[in-house]
Amino acid sequence: MKTQILNHQQVQKILRRMAYQIYEKNFDKKDLVFAAIKGQGIEVAKLVQQELKDISKIKISLLEIEISKDKPTFNSAQVNFNQLSVQGKTIIIFDDVLNTGRTLVYGMYLFLHLDPLAIQIAVLVDRNHKTFPVAADYIGLSLQTTLQEHVSVLMKLNRISVYLL
């Protein structure tokens, strides 16, 4: 059974709140690097980027992390970027749903050796089933679910909704 837990208007309010939280924590930065997991993570990052542009003058670079969500490995995670573009900067890694933390661990691995100032995590939904030590800095919605349930973020015609399956 598919149950809608967030409609487009609710998601928009959450993304705007996340943009304010990111600004509050990083108000002294001239630029930030948004690195987003390919798929829905990149869509969430783009929407937060637009909200942040409306409230601040922080320059944002957007990178796309390509990684297998089903079976991520160190070798499967890739991102195309200039290494100097992230050195000494705050990197915010975006994904749509934080479940076990595995995908985000492999995503962070790409940047650890590049001497970033900080790595922060932003997710639209945190399911709280972590098996890896990953905690999100910015959470749209914290949701208690069973292991059998699935959270789906759907984007259709620039409208984003969240469902529990």
pLDDT at 75 over 80: no
DSSP for 18-53, written as a single string: HHHHHHHHHTT-SEEEEEEETTHHHHHHHHHHHHHH
Q: Which domain CATH number covers 137?
A: 3.40.50.2020
Q: Please, what is the end-to-end C-alpha distance for the chain in angstroms?
A: 6
Domain boundaries, position 72: 3-164
Q: What is the pLDDT of residues 79-117, one digit of tens each?
A: 776 655 788 999 999 999 998 888 899 888 888 888 899
**Counted domains in the chain:** 1
Cβ(151)–Cβ(4) under 8 Å? no
Per-residue pLDDT reduced to its tens digit, 36-50: 999 889 999 999 999
pLDDT the model gives residue 132: 85
